Structure 1
């Protein structure tokens, strides 16, 4: 694997303050029935401290139109620390649409990306990727994913697009609206806690039995070749339509497709 570009990925300077998400917001989504899983220690927490988890900057770069679709870019700034019971500071976690191509790059800090999906034969797949500053990750089409902070503060940039429908299995259709991504399917009841070796994946007994041991993965070589030595924010801003078309073509060949949205 090519070395990460930690020395060549400058931090973005977002305009405005973004939207802050605290522990109370995570718990509110969980209790409202959104597709969010947290450990029992977090659910039962009744202390007065409500730590900031992350600040989301939506459309941190201007939306683009290319390859017959719209592209959007976000930046999420995560705090250091951990939640009650040792759970890592984290995102909410959600399922992508079956047509959504989503690519991440850690700009600062170090994060853990968990992803889960099912193969065409229904076999469950769980992967984990430790992303140092400069490293990239791609989410399976229609897959579930969760970002957790190993070393913070951490800044993670991502861009995404819902591609033309031939990317998706014919029996699936994307959910509409940003809010819908938290209600597409039951959460994969997995997360990660701080451990001596760095982290340990934990969750409900049923999910641990179904998904098994996470397969470690690394940054895709084909993605590094397409980005070609620049940071993902610069690539998003400056790639021409032909380069984005090449990205889409590689993704269609290389990125797994989730064939069952709800794993239960």
Structure 2
């Protein structure tokens, strides 16, 4: 049985990671001043709500995990929404998100084209499939929201250390600003070209997933999880403009 670990992330952690470039912010100094006044909570992550290990023929077992994240809603003083820290997934790791309550915007970038961004809104019940080895970041600009995600060990990649997985490669040099309810990609550092933005959701079409994602790691058979991994790795169901 999985042992759920709850961890809250405050604005101060976002600022500290921005100093190491694993997070990009539009106006770090302004947010730092706000943090000195009130170090507000951004989200609480409940890690390992579900966990499964699935054996594979001629390969190491795959560990599947399910997390639930509760986001505060609203905008920070710079116009950036309440957000996750964001990170790059390892090669071969499957990850799917579903909004359980509220609505969010998820930013996704691929390692071979970090300036080509997917920025799409996902409402309650909708899923986002993160391409293999991609960067992803969740924003909650409107109201409190709850997001559940499943992810795999990638067949041999060890289970993640949640305290260290965000300290890797620098984030893509963009963040989002919201004005009049619309998201705009803002360059957080100087880049040769502005970002190319797709606003088509990265859907789960073609993947055998339940209507409510949290039930997958509880009810699916080992064979179904192996088939999901095979489908995802050979033909990821990602719609792009």
TM over 0.5: yes
CA contact (8 A) 1:82 1:88 kept: yes
Question: TM-score w.r.t. structure 1 length?
Answer: 0.77
Who is 1:4 aligned against? none
- Aligned ranges 1:1-264 → 2 under 5 Å: 18-31=6-19, 33=20, 35-40=22-27, 44-47=31-34, 48-61=37-50, 63-66=51-54, 67=56, 68-119=61-112, 125-164=116-155, 177-207=161-191, 209=193, 212-218=195-201, 219-223=203-207, 226-228=208-210, 230-255=211-236
Distance 1:246 1:252 in 2: 10
Shift of 1:54: 0.4
Shift of 1:130: 1.0
Distance 1:85 1:123 in 2: 23
CA contact (8 A) 1:60 1:75 kept: yes
Q: Per the alignment, in what secondary structure is the counterpart of residue 199 of structure 1?
A: strand
Who is 1:260 aligned against? none
Cα 1:16/1:233, change in 2 over 3 Å: closer
Q: Per the alignment, in what secondary structure is the counterpart of residue 85 of structure 2?
A: coil
Shift of 1:180: 3.9
Q: Per the alignment, in what secondary structure is the counterpart of residue 196 of structure 2?
A: coil
Shift of 1:16: 7.9
Question: TM-score w.r.t. structure 2 length?
Answer: 0.84
Cα 1:20/1:123, change in 2 over 3 Å: closer
Distance 1:82 1:89 in 2: 6
Cα 1:155/1:110, change in 2 over 3 Å: same
Distance 2:9 2:163 in 1: 15
Q: Per the alignment, in what secondary structure is the counterpart of residue 206 of structure 1?
A: coil
Distance 1:175 1:246 in 2: 20
Shift of 1:124: 5.1
Distance 2:219 2:226 in 1: 13
Q: Which has the higher contact order (CA 8 A, sep 6+)?
A: 1
Count of aligned positions? 228
> What RMSD in Å do the two structures reach over aligned CA positions?
2.7
> Which shows bigger deviation, 69-78 or 122-131?
122-131
CA contact (8 A) 2:117 2:198 kept: yes
Distance 1:52 1:160 in 2: 25
Distance 1:244 1:79 in 2: 32
